[in-house]
């Protein structure tokens, strides 16, 4: 997160986003989102959400939800696996029969479901709360601010943003002191490196960790990256996102191999990270499923990084 010159991140985002959320009609408000602005009923009650980060935000704000996607959920969202919430499809595909029963007054998409924005907009007012990796904090601030005002609790939204800003600042301070590391997504025994600007580059681009790989050093698409390459790079930190642990399944079926087992090898043990005990298995659901874009997911991810950095003696 780049430091703002005259205003804090929270103050700037709230000031910039609160004004557009005004009355569009006597009973609606105009909500800013990734694909423009949409008139939405004030305090909607039959909301269908196809984005886990938004579900995270709405839970944090105590907002009513009627329909949810069928998905792997982190423990803190497990309450949505309940008969009181209608399963309205998946993270990729809506269940239109379920939507006809719910008769939603608001639909929210984001990330994996954003491609359905236009089709769902014909059913009910629809918002796209997708976030961009290199603008994740700004887009999160937009989403939190708009939802907090939509539900009539802007002060709660501001307090949540202030907490996020504080915790991000702590991690940035610690990460700046850490030696360069390698971020890998693991799909069973296949490992995929990430660098600044890549899918999970948020670790570097926003949280300030230093990368042992530059974007131009990433292997060409379709090229295998293996543990011999990890050993040659010899990173001081190895950060791992276990894709299969996040989704609960392996591509094409078959058994799931835990990343802790995959990374227990001579090449990893011989790296600086292996010798120093600095192989970090990041929370898979918080990083892969929610993309760190929900406030509870982000706070959990920040807390884990604070813990491992401080365990390494960083202050």
What confidence tens digit (pLDDT) does each residue in 247-296 have? 999 887 888 999 999 999 999 999 999 999 999 999 999 999 999 999 99
Mean pLDDT for the chain overall: 91
* pLDDT, mean of residues 204-222: 92
pLDDT greater than 90 at residue 22: no
pLDDT greater than 70 at residue 59: yes
Residues in the chain, overall count: 315
- pLDDT above 90 covers a percentage of the chain that reads 85
* pLDDT, mean of residues 54-61: 97
pLDDT greater than 80 at residue 24: no
Rounded to a whole number of angstroms, the CA Rg of the chain reads 20
Q: What is the pLDDT of residue 222?
A: 75
Q: What is the pLDDT of residue 223?
A: 86
* CA distances, 87 to each of 43, 143, 202, 276 (Å): 22, 23, 31, 45
- Helix extents (H) in the chain: 9-18, 52-61, 96-102, 117-121, 136-150, 154-175, 202-205, 227-233, 243-247, 259-262, 266-269, 272-276, 284, 295-311
* pLDDT, mean of residues 75-90: 96
pLDDT greater than 80 at residue 9: no
Q: Which of 173, 184, 189 is nearest to 212 (CA)?
A: 184
Residue 183 to residue 194: CA distance in whole angstroms: 5
Here the tokens at position 192 are 């995929």
* pTM summary value: 0.90
Q: What is the pLDDT of residue 260?
A: 96
């Amino acid at each position: 997160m780049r430091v703002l010159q005259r205003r804090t991140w929270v103050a700037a985002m709230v000031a910039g986003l609160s004004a557009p959320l005004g009355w569009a009609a006597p009973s609606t408000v105009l909500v800013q989102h990734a694909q423009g602005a949409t008139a939405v009923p004030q305090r909607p009650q039959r909301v269908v959400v196809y984005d886990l980060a938004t579900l995270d935000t709405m839970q944090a704000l105590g907002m009513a939800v009627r329909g949810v996607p069928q998905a792997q959920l982190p423990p803190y969202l497990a309450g949505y696996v309940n008969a009181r919430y209608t399963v309205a499809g998946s993270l990729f595909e809506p269940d239109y029969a379920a939507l006809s029963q719910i008769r939603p007054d608001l639909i929210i998409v984001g990330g994996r479901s954003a491609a359905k924005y236009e089709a769902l907009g014909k059913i009910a007012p629809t918002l796209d709360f997708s976030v961009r990796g290199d603008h994740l904090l700004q887009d999160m601030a937009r989403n939190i601010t708009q939802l907090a005002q939509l539900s009539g609790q802007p002060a709660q939204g501001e307090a949540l943003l202030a907490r996020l800003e504080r915790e991000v600042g702590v991690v940035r301070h610690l990460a700046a002191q850490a030696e360069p590391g390698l971020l890998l997504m693991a799909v069973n025994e296949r490992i995929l490196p990430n660098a600044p600007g890549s899918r999970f580059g948020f670790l570097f681009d926003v949280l300030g960790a230093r990368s042992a790989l530059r974007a131009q050093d990433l292997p060409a698409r379709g090229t295998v990256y293996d543990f011999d390459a990890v050993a040659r790079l010899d990173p001081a930190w190895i950060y791992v996102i276990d894709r299969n642990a996040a989704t609960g399944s392996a591509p094409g079926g078959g058994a799931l191999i835990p990343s802790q087992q995959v990374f227990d090898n001579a090449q990893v043990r011989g790296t600086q990270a292996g010798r120093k005990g600095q192989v970090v298995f990041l929370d898979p659901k918080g990083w892969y499923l929610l993309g760190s874009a929900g406030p509870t997911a982000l706070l959990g991810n920040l807390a884990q990084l604070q813990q491992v950095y401080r365990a390494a003696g960083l202050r």
